[in-house]
Amino acid sequence: MTRKRWIALTIAIILFVFSIGFQAVTRIMTADLEKLMNFDVGKFEEDILEEGSSLNKIAVIRLNGIIQDTSTNAFNTTTYNHNQFLQMIEEAGEDSTIKGIILRVNTPGGGVVESAEIHDKIKEVQERHGKPVYVSMGNTAASGGYYISAPADKIIAHPATLTGSIGVIMESINFTELANQLGIDFNTIKSGEFKDIMSASREMTEEERQILQTMIDDLYDDFVQVIVEGRELSDERVRELGDGRVYTGSQAFELGLVDSLGTLDDAIASMKEEHQLENAKVVEYKSGLGIYQYIGMTLKSSLGSQGKMDSLVELLRQSNAPQAMYLYSE
Which range is least confidently modeled, 37-41, 131-135, 202-206, 226-230?
A: 37-41
Q: Specify the pLDDT at position 70.
A: 78
Q: Is the alpha carbon torsion for 69, 72, 77, 83 positive or negative?
A: positive
Q: Specify the pLDDT at position 125.
A: 96
Higher pLDDT, 30 or 97: 97
Name 141's bridge partners.
Answer: 107, 163
Higher pLDDT, 318 or 115: 115
> Which amino acid would we find at residue 154?
K
Round to whole Å and give the CA distance between 131 and 92. 9
Which range is least confidently modeled, 11-20, 165-174, 298-307, 314-323?
A: 298-307
Q: How many CB atoms lie within 10 A of CB 84?
A: 15
**pLDDT at residue 311 tops 50:** no
Active-site residue list: 143, 195
What average pLDDT does this structure show over 120-143? 97
Q: Specify the pLDDT at position 323.
A: 81
Among left, alpha and beta (phi > 0; psi -120 to 50; other), residue 89 is: alpha
Higher pLDDT, 79 or 153: 153
Higher pLDDT, 214 or 14: 214
Confidence category of residue 35, pLDDT binned at 50, 70, 90:
very low
Q: Specify the pLDDT at position 301.
A: 53
What average pLDDT does this structure show over 264-279? 97
Round to whole Å and give the CA distance between 25 and 313. 28
Identify whether the C-beta of residue 86 lies closer than 8 Å to the C-beta of residue 73: no
What average pLDDT does this structure show over 163-187? 89
The residue length of the chain stands at 330
- Residue 187 has phi, psi (to 5 degrees) of -110, 115
**pLDDT at residue 29 tops 50:** no
Higher pLDDT, 31 or 176: 176
Q: Specify the pLDDT at position 104.
A: 98
Higher pLDDT, 277 or 8: 277
The DSSP secondary structure of 169-238, one letter per residue, reads: B------HHHHHHHT-------SSTTTTTT-TTSPPPHHHHHHHHHHHHHHHHHHHHHHHHHH---HHHH
Average pLDDT of the chain is: 84
**pLDDT at residue 12 tops 90:** no
pLDDT tens per residue across span 71-128: 544 444 457 999 999 999 999 999 999 999 999 999 999 999 999 999 999 999 999 9
Q: Specify the pLDDT at position 11.
A: 64
**pLDDT at residue 228 tops 70:** yes
Round to whole Å and give the CA distance between 171 and 322. 7
Identify whether the C-beta of residue 165 lies closer than 8 Å to the C-beta of residue 320: no
- CA dist 304 to 57, 92, 108, Å? 44, 38, 29
Q: Which helix (H) or strand (E) holds 326?
A: strand 325-327
pLDDT tens per residue across span 177-212: 888 888 888 888 999 999 999 888 889 999 999 999
**pLDDT at residue 277 tops 70:** yes
**pLDDT at residue 22 tops 60:** no
Round to whole Å and give the CA distance between 216 and 43. 38
**pTM of the entire structure?**
0.79
Q: Specify the pLDDT at position 79.
A: 75
Residue ranges with strand state E in 78-191 = 98-107, 109-111, 133-142, 154-157, 162-164
What average pLDDT does this structure show over 150-161? 98
Confidence category of residue 231, pLDDT binned at 50, 70, 90:
very high
Question: Pseudo-torsion of CA 16, 20, 26, 32, nearest 10°?
Answer: 180
